[in-house]
Amino acid sequence: MKLSKLASDIAESPTLALNEEARLLRERGEAVINLGIGEPKNKTPISAVLASGAKLTSGEVKYTPPDGLPAMKKAVIRYTEENYNRLVAPENVIVTNGAKQSLFNIFYSILNPQDEVIVIAPYWVSYNEMIKMCLGVPVIVTPEDGTFTPRFADIERAVTSSTRAIIVNSPNNPSGAIYPPELLEKIVDMCERKGIFMICDDIYHKLTFDRNVAPPAYSFTKKDVENSHVIVVNGVAKLYGMTGFRLGWVVAPRELVKVMTNVLAQTTSCVSPIAQAAAEGALNGLQSVVEALRLQIQNNRDVVLQEMKTFNGARLIEPKGTFYALPDLRAFNGNSVELSRFLLKKALVVTVPGKEFGMEGHIRISFAGSVKEVTEGIARIKWALDPTSPNEIFIGNKKMIRDWM
C-alpha cells in the first residue's frame, strides 16, 4: 500500500498506545496499575454536566461559528481577564478541539517549510511530531546540568534566522518543573525583540503545589495581546479533569486567530456545541472544583515524595506542579524503553519511557490516579528494581518473589 511518507513517519502517541496495552492486560484479568496516562479521576463538574445536558435536550445541536460560540468565547475572555490580567476581544480567541488542536493549528498557521521551533527538553511528546507534520523543524534545548530548567543562554544560542517560535510549557509535562520568573522574563523579552512567537502551553497553569505559582508570560510584557508575540494555549482537560470533552482555546493576535479559524473551518468545522456548552458551564460555574482537584493531586504528589524517599538508587527532582514525576533511574538501566517494558512485564505497572520526552534514563510516573494506585504502583516499581526493598510482594492476589537479582 502506498501511503504518505510525511504521515507514515509520524510516531504513534506513546501514552495512548501504553494506555491501550494496559486496557488489554486488564481485560485479561491482570492486576495492572496505570501510571502512564495523565488523566485525573474526578467526575465532570456539575455545572458542565448541566450546561451540556441542557444543550443536548434543546435538540439544537448544529454547527457553530468555526472560532467558537460567542458565549463560550465570552467565558474565555473573562478567564483571561481574571487569570492573565489582559482584556481581549472576541477576535483574539479561538475555541478548538482540545489544546492539542490549538497547538497543531498554531504550528500550521505560523510555519513555512524548514522554519524552526525551539522545544525545551523534557518536552511533551506531541510537540515534535506536530511541528514535523507542519514541515517545521524542532530544535531541542536540553538542560545540561541534570535539572529540568534550561539556561537562558542555551535557548538564546539555539535561535537562528529560521526560528519562528519557542514553546514553553510551565508547569511542565513530564517533569512537573515550574520555570523561574527570571527565565520567563528573558524569554518574553527575547521573543518580543526578535519577533519570535512564544507559545505558552498553559494547560497545567493552575495545577501547582504548595505556594508555587506559574507566572503568565503576559506579566513580563507591557504590550497588549494584539501587538505581543505571546500566544496562550489553555483548555478544560487538566483544569477541570474534562479530558473527554476535547475543548481548548487560544488567545493570540487577531491576524493569527483569523488564519487559524480558516484552518479549523476547513478541517473540523467547529467544536461540538455540546462540548462548548460544557466548557462554558465549567468556566462560569463554581471554581472550588479546581481547588478540590488541585488539593487531591497535591496530596498524591506528597505520597509520591514519601514513597520515593525509600527508593534506593532513584533520583527525583520534586514536581512543583502537574501530575507527573520524572525520576532518574539510570542507576538501574540507562535505556528507559527497556525499563518501562520490564516494569510492565514484571510488576504490571504502566510508566512512560523518558526517551519519549527527550530525557533518556528517566521514566514518567503519572500520579493523577488514586492514592492507592500511586502507592501500590511505586511499591511495585521499587520491588522490581531496588534490591534493598523486600523481595516478596502481592500483585493482585498473587504472591510474587523477585528472582532476577
Ligand X SMILES: Cc1ncc(COP(=O)(O)O)c(C=O)c1O
> Is residue 281 part of the contact set for ligand X (CB under 6 A)?
no
Pairing of strands 248-251, 230-235: antiparallel
Distance between CA 369 and CA 245 in Å, rounded? 19
Nearer to ligand X, 300 or 348 (CB): 300
Nearer to ligand X, 207 or 395 (CB): 207
Nearer to ligand X, 164 or 246 (CB): 246
Q: Which residue has the cell 487559524?
A: 260
Single out the residue of 235, 321, 353, 361 in contact with ligand X (rule: CB under 6 A): 235
Distance between CA 58 and CA 55 in Å, rounded? 5
Which residue has the closest beta carbon to ligand X? 98
Site string for ligand X, 106-135 (x = CB under 6 A): ------------------x-----------
Q: Which stretch binds ligand X (CB under 6 A): 93-101, 143-151, 214-222, 325-333?
A: 93-101
Q: CB of 365: closest distance to ligand X in angstroms?
A: 14
3 state DSSP class of 54? helix
Taking every pair of C-alpha atoms in the chain, what is the biggest distance, in angstroms? Answer: 64
Distance between CA 184 and CA 175 in Å, rounded? 17
Q: Which stretch binds ligand X (CB under 6 A): 53-61, 95-103, 266-274, 330-338?
A: 95-103
Nearer to ligand X, 320 or 380 (CB): 320
Output the CA–CA distances (angstroms, integers) from residue 96 to 2, 69, 127, 399, in the order listed: 31, 11, 17, 48
Which residues in 147-186 contact ligand X (CB under 6 A)?
Answer: 169, 173
Q: Which stretch binds ligand X (CB under 6 A): 96-104, 133-141, 181-189, 224-232?
A: 96-104
Pairing of strands 324-325, 248-251: unpaired
> Is residue 357 part of the contact set for ligand X (CB under 6 A)?
no
Distance between CA 346 and CA 404 in Å, rounded? 10
> Is residue 38 part of the contact set for ligand X (CB under 6 A)?
yes
> Is residue 347 part of the contact set for ligand X (CB under 6 A)?
no
Single out the residue of 51, 99, 282, 339 in contact with ligand X (rule: CB under 6 A): 99
Residues 6 or more apart in contact with residue 121 via CB below 8 angstroms: 140, 141, 142, 143, 357, 358, 359
Single out the residue of 190, 198, 203, 350 in contact with ligand X (rule: CB under 6 A): 203
> Is residue 138 part of the contact set for ligand X (CB under 6 A)?
no
Single out the residue of 128, 163, 243, 340 in contact with ligand X (rule: CB under 6 A): 243
DSSP labels for 337-385?
HHHHHHHHHHH-EE-EEGGGGT-TTBEEEE--S-HHHHHHHHHHHHHHH
Q: CB of 129: closest distance to ligand X in angstroms?
A: 13
Nearer to ligand X, 192 or 202 (CB): 202
Distance between CA 330 and CA 179 in Å, rounded? 24
Residues 6 or more apart in contact with residue 178 via CB below 8 angstroms: 170, 171, 172, 208, 212, 213, 214, 320, 321
Q: CB of 173: closest distance to ligand X in angstroms?
A: 4
Pairing of strands 398-401, 392-395: antiparallel
Amino acid at 226: E
Q: Which stretch binds ligand X (CB under 6 A): 92-100, 137-145, 330-338, 345-353?
A: 92-100
Q: CB of 36: closest distance to ligand X in angstroms?
A: 11
Task: Kindly report whether the peptide bond that precedes residue 327 is cis, defined as omega within 30 degrees of 0.
Answer: no
Nearer to ligand X, 99 or 304 (CB): 99
Q: Which stretch binds ligand X (CB under 6 A): 142-150, 235-243, 256-264, 389-397?
A: 235-243
Q: How many residues bind ligand X (CB under 6 A)?
A: 13
Q: CB of 312: closest distance to ligand X in angstroms?
A: 30
DSSP labels for 78-125?
HHHHHHH-----GGGEEEESHHHHHHHHHHHHHPPTT-EEEEESS--T
Q: Please give the torsion angle defined by the CA atoms of residues 208, 210, 214 and 220, in that order, rounded to the nearest 10 degrees.
A: 170
> Is residue 100 part of the contact set for ligand X (CB under 6 A)?
yes
Single out the residue of 77, 237, 339, 395 in contact with ligand X (rule: CB under 6 A): 237
Residue 94 burial (10 A CB sphere; 0-12, 13-18, 19+): buried
> Is residue 98 part of the contact set for ligand X (CB under 6 A)?
yes
Q: CB of 263: closest distance to ligand X in angstroms?
A: 16
Q: CB of 382: closest distance to ligand X in angstroms?
A: 26
Site for ligand X, rule CB under 6 A:
38, 98-100, 124, 169, 173, 201, 203, 235, 237, 243, 248
